[in-house]
Amino acid sequence: MPIIEHHQLIHAPIDLCFDLARSVDIHIQTTTFTNERAVAGVTTGLLEMGDTVTFEATHFGVKQKLTAKVIKMDKPHEFIDIMVKGAFHSFMHTHRFIEELDGTLMIDYFQYKSPFGVIGNIADRLFLERYMKTFIASRAEALKKIAENMKGDIG
């Protein structure tokens, strides 16, 4: 079961970074490369404990839907979401935020299990793990740019 860990230093307050990371609108804005859109559950605004959201996106040329549920919320330090329906066998995404002197350290821990047993494990080694690392890093970099350009809250 691959575990991806990504660290992103953001020169912005912890509360802002936390809210941006749990914003459905910002998620869509930071994943334009997969044409993501929220189609069910919470489709706009900030995710809270117990909320679900279903995203539709194109990955590997295939339109897919994925439903995630927030199972832990410790504002503004951590929230965790899990997949309840989608292409993976399972996943858990921990979003952690640590206040630093010059901003906020945002840490993503993404643990997933591919479908299809041995075939899924081969796909992980060949391309899926690298794809997910790039996806998470790209989204974190886009979130960093948004946070560092904002001078208030996201409302």
Q: What per-residue confidence (pLDDT) applies to 155? A: 46
Name the percent of the chain lying above pLDDT 90: 77
- Tokens describing residue 110: 């993404």
Q: If pLDDT is split at 50, 70 and 90, which confidence band does 50 have?
A: very high
CB 103 within 8 A of CB 12: yes
DSSP 22-40: TBHHHHHHTTGGGT-EEEE
Average pLDDT, the chain: 92
CB 13 within 8 A of CB 104: yes
Q: What per-residue confidence (pLDDT) applies to 2? A: 84
Of residues 119 and 112, more confidently modeled: 112
Q: What is the mean pLDDT of residues 112-134?
A: 82
Q: What is the mean pLDDT of residues 105-111?
A: 97
Q: What per-residue confidence (pLDDT) applies to 118? A: 76
- The contacts of residue 101 (CB under 8 Å, 6+ apart) are none
Q: How far apart are CA 139 and CA 31, in angstroms?
A: 6
Q: How far apart are CA 107 and CA 118, in angstroms?
A: 29
